[in-house]
């Protein structure tokens, strides 16, 4: 199983630029993401066929 918390921590620390999540992994990833207190700092951009790319932002989304 993929360690999404570790990936999100790496994204937050600037160790990686983005995380690409495929459609079939989205629900598992989302359940981890929304459980984090800093989840509003992660911005996802959806593309065709269900691929979503997440980046970290200093300012939380509203």
> Whole-structure pTM over 0.85, yes or no?
yes
Counting beta carbons within 10 angstroms of the beta carbon of residue 19, is it exposed (0 to 12), middle (13 to 18) or buried (19 or more)? buried
Tell me the sheet residues that pair with 16.
none
Q: Determine the Cα–Cα distance for residues 58 and 28; give it in Å rounded to an integer.
A: 24
Segment 5-33, tens digit of pLDDT: 999 999 999 999 999 999 999 999 999 99
Sheet holding 19-21, edge to edge: 19-21, 52-56, 42-46
- CB-based contacts of 21, cutoff 8 Å, min separation 6: 29, 44, 51, 52, 53, 54
């Amino acid at each position: 199983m993929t360690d999404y918390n570790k990936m999100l921590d790496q994204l937050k620390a600037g160790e990686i630029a983005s995380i690409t999540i495929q459609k079939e992994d989205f629900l598992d990833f989302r359940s981890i993401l929304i459980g984090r207190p800093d989840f509003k700092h992660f911005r996802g951009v959806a593309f065709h066929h269900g691929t979503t790319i997440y980046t970290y932002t200093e300012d939380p989304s509203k």
